[in-house]
Structure formats: structure tokens, C-alpha cells
Structure 1
């Protein structure tokens, strides 16, 4: 009987790296480019992978390579294996100063500037060769993590339902209604939510590819009361929304940290805050379990946590 080492010695482990890239890119040419190979070389590697796993692995369709059931089964294990190998090799030698990794995170757009900008600066100071890519949060961050599109997701809901993912509470925020500095509501001594509902709102839209519906805590409570906001404009760009309400009676809901953002200049004021239960919102840092033992990811996780906690302390 062959030992594990003998069985694995006949396998080129670089094939697993190639398979991982093919799964992510779903295109032979793009996968070849990622690995600095020619397209014919990547095609030969795909042939070797098909022989190794005795499966077609992919079918060609007009929109690219589509994985077989076998490939989908392998995908759930592959990233974890590669991260474990990386951790095995680099765990004792990790140096932030020398790290050249590219990390990807997703953050709530309304908090992006105040959370990501300080993080990027802290990372540059400690690890100048590291690249950070930021993407807007999806309604459900699990798919982004599962498919490896992001390494971490900062999310306002704990969406983890299995031990395949790990979440950690890193802060708390609450909704605030903002409007123009000369908004008619500011003439009132006591502003109610019903007062606010008399005016139209603008709203931030999440990734159009997201499935499901996202309701902020204020909308959840309004729905319970049989009420809803009149949303006149939705956009994925915060700057567009802010510009659209200048000189108008329209309102926007944002987190309390938005008040510190320079995008809200002196022409804007807080109209009403909702800083108590049931409106408060917990912030979570979510990751796939495959990164739990990765030294670079543990370092980045600490940087994210410290940056966010400092941001909340400075408010």
C-alpha cells in the first residue's frame, strides 16, 4: 500500500493553483494571464486536470467556462487547502513590512470613507507593499466570501449561518436622518418620524447583483407600523445622493459616522437621530474559515479591528 507521501509525489500541486484560478476566472485566457502563462499552456494544464480528476471539470458556453458538479465539489475544499499550504510556508516568516499581498474587503458605502481611508493609511505605514481593494457591501456578503471575491466583509448584519464562516462584532452604529441646513423641519422643537415621512428621501442602493431585500432598522420599524418612506431617488454613489438633496427638502438616512464625513459640509444638518433600541445596528467583520489560519489575513483582521475601533473612539 502506498503511503500518503508516495501517492501525492506523482501529483504536481501547481495544478491545484491553476484549477483555483480557472474556477475564479471561468476563462482560459484570463486564467493564463493571471498566472503569467500562454493560453496554449493553460489549455494543456486544463487537459492534465481533467485527466487527474477524471472529469471534464468545465463546459464551454457563450459566457465562458461553466463548472461541472465535480468542480463545484472541489471548489469548496480547494481554497482552504491552498490557504493551509500558504500558512504552512509563511506562518513563521510573515513580515508586514515585506508582505506583497493584495487584499479585498467590502464595506457599507455610507461608512466607506470613514472606515477605509484610515485603514488604508495604517496599512501603508505598516506594510507599504500591500494592496487594498475595496468593494461595496452586498445584501448578502456570504456569496462574495464563498467565491473568493473578497477576503473580509464589514456588514451590518450577522449573516453567518454555518461554521464555514466566522463573524466578529467590531462596533455599533445607528441611523440618522440628514437634510439641508435650511430644511423646514429644523424650525420644529420636537421632530417626529411622522414629520420626516412628509418629505421625500434619497437612498443608497446596494450591488444590483445582490439577491434579497435589505431594509435598514428604521424601515423595519416603519413597516411594523404600516408606514414607509417615499424614496424619490436611489443611487450607488453617495456623492450623487448628497448633491441631489442640496437646496431641496429631500432627506437621506445614514449612519451616525456620516456626520463626520467632509462630504456633508455646512449646508447639511442632522434632522433626527435614532440612537436607542431597536434602531441601533451592530457592525460585524465576516470571513471564510479558509483564511482563519492565514498569517497575512490574521494581521489584516487586526488592522481592520483596530482601525474601526479607533474610528468609533474618535467620534
Structure 2
């Protein structure tokens, strides 16, 4: 029997074996000839509504999806899915098959988990906990998860950067769970809101003229200088809150530039004398960068900044509880430091 990732590549042919007295049923014979991967294709098309999405989710080519769909149609003598502008829509027969096919594919994942547990126990080798995190979270979480207390509870933890296919990898079991600011819409995963950024910090070179003022920093003061935006998908990829603030107030920024890399962001602040914001999450890393100075943005100014665009929200993305290989306590340990950073007003010591 072949389980796990090999199922996704279609190399596994796990068949139901009927009783002898049932073999006279031609339909049953044909159903028993279907492999598990073909049923996974059915489920993915039903869930996503697009053959291309199914190919991406299962990490195979579009022609392979087409061949599996043809095999399903031949077996059940039905179109199963017909094309509409919105994508592939299930026929009444496909609707009736969906629950049974889900039960069967779920049982395959249970088989996989049972086999892995026995294999791990036999080899005494524990697989690291694999966690995906949005850009900026990796450098925050890593120091929290390497303490003796965390290692004792979690063992080894492998952190991965959140990417477009991360939800599919969580669903497939290659990743255990993820923390993201990107909205994730999937029927097969549990998505829980953890909270949003509660504190914003102003960042600039220690030699920047912004720091010459003895008064609390205002948004109007910041808008007199070149602004640097660290782009985060799902938050400010279209327009940054400061850009929108300037538009609403009739202010004109001298310049605004966007970067997606933290190292480039750091260099720009030092060499281009720009001003930027960072969150209470990023602050734990940024405060150790030589040559930079941070100051909390006053709460009243934060409210003005985020009057129209909410600050980034963090979401926990997991498989259903029955498919997880970690405990609730382990998950809570991972997210606890993040929740603390989201809700407390952290002082900066430099």
C-alpha cells in the first residue's frame, strides 16, 4: 500500500476488494478499478470548481487531471461536472457521490496517520513540527521556540515562509499548521483569528532629522519625509495606510517607495534617509539593527492611520482536529508569544 505524498502523484492504486457474490455487478467492478488518486481528483474539483486548481492542489499536470476525470465519467456513465462561467459545476450524481468519496479519502488519511505513528514509534525518530509563517514572523517566532521550555514541549520545529501553496501543503500533511495575515478561504481547513497589530513604531536612521523634534511624532511630521513601505500581501499591497491618509488629508509625500525584502528595507532606511513603520512583531528584530532608531507612534496617531485600513490581522490555519499530529497545548505554546506581542504595549530599549 502506498500513502502520503505518493498518492498525490498517482502512483498508488489502492482498490476495494468486493465479495465474490458482488463481482457480478459491472459498476462495482469499475469502481474497484479506480485508484485513490482519481477519487482525490474528484474531491478537489468538487471543492475548487476548477480543473487547474485541482492540478495545482495535487501538484500534477492538467492532462493528468483530465485523464482522471475521463476515467470517472466512464465509470459512472455521467458528465459529473459541466462547464459554467464560474467554473465546473457538479451534476446531481456528483452531488450524491461527494459524501461517500470524502469518507473514503478521509479513511486513507487515517491509514496514513496510523502507519506513520507506528513507523515513528519503531524508529524512535520524531518528525519535526512544520510551521508556516508570514513574512516577518519567522525571525520573531524562532527565538521563542528555541528556549529549553519550548524544546521540551515541542521538540524540533521547522519554520517555513508562508507561500501561495501553503494551504494545500497543510491540507496534504506536509505542513502541520500556519500563521498568516493573508485571508485563506478553504473548506477543508480551520481558520481562527488570533488578533491584529496593536502597536506601530516609527523607524528611521539614528541621524534622521525626524528625531530632532522634542514633541510626540505626528503623521503630518512623517509625511514631510520620504516614506518607505514594506509591502505585505493581504494588507498594504494595493495602497499603504499612510498613502490613503495623505490622500484624505490633501497632503503630498515627497516620495514613497515599496520593497518586499527586509534586508533591502534596512539598507534603504540607512542610505536613503527614509522613514518607515514597523509593527510590535517586527520591533523585536528591528531594534537590534545597527544604525536605526524606533519610537512608538502615539495611540491617537495610530487611530488616525488605521481609520480606513485596518492593521494586519493574524490567522491560525490548521487541519481539522482529527487530522492533527500535535496537541492543543503545543499549538497554544507556539502562538502564545505572538498573542502577547499583539496585545501588549512593548517598550523599546536601545
Match of 2:55 in 1: 26
Q: Give the Cα separation in 1 of the matches to 2:54 and 2:82.
A: 12
Aligned 1:1-315 pairs, distance under 5 A: 10-11=31-32, 12=34, 14=36, 15-17=38-40, 26=55, 31=60, 45=68, 47-52=70-75, 54-55=78-79, 68-70=88-90, 82-83=105-106, 86-87=109-110, 90=113, 100=127, 103=130, 105-107=132-134, 109-115=135-141, 118-119=144-145, 126=154, 128=156, 132-135=159-162, 145=167, 152-156=177-181, 165-169=190-194, 172-190=197-215, 191-207=217-233, 213=238, 215-216=240-241, 225=249, 227=251, 232-261=256-285, 264-275=288-299, 278=303, 281=311, 283-287=313-317, 291-296=320-325, 299=327, 303-310=330-337
Deviation, structure 1 residue 116: 5.2
Q: CA deviation at 1:274?
A: 4.1
CA contact (8 A) 1:205 1:234 kept: yes
5+ long unaligned stretches in structure 1: 33-38, 60-66
Report the CA distance shift for 1:227/1:202 in structure 2 as closer, same or farther (over 3 A).
same
For 1:48 and 1:106, how far apart are their aligned partners in 2? 38
CA contact (8 A) 1:178 1:251 kept: yes
Quickly say closer, same or farther: Cα 1:104–1:111, change in 2 above 3 A.
closer
How far apart, in 1, do the equivalents of 2:193 and 2:329 lie?
11
- Larger strand proportion, structure 1 or 2? 1
Root-mean-square deviation (Å): 5.4
Q: What TM-score comes out, normalization by structure 1 length?
A: 0.61
Deviation at 1:221, TM superposition (A): 6.0
- Larger RCO: 1 or 2 (CA < 8 Å, sep 6+): 1
- Which sections of structure 2, spanning at least 5 residues, go unmatched? 1-18, 45-50
CA distance in 2 between counterparts of 1:309 and 1:274 reads 26
TM-score scaled by length of structure 2: 0.56
Q: Secondary structure at the match of 1:26?
A: helix
Distance 1:223 1:171, change over 3 A: same
Question: Over alpha carbons, which structure has the higher Rg?
Answer: 2
Aligned pair count reads: 283
1:112 CA drift (Å)? 3.4
- Residue of structure 2 in register with 1:64 after alignment: none
Q: Is the 8 A contact 2:230 2:258 kept in 1?
A: yes
Q: Is the 8 A contact 1:152 1:287 kept in 2?
A: yes
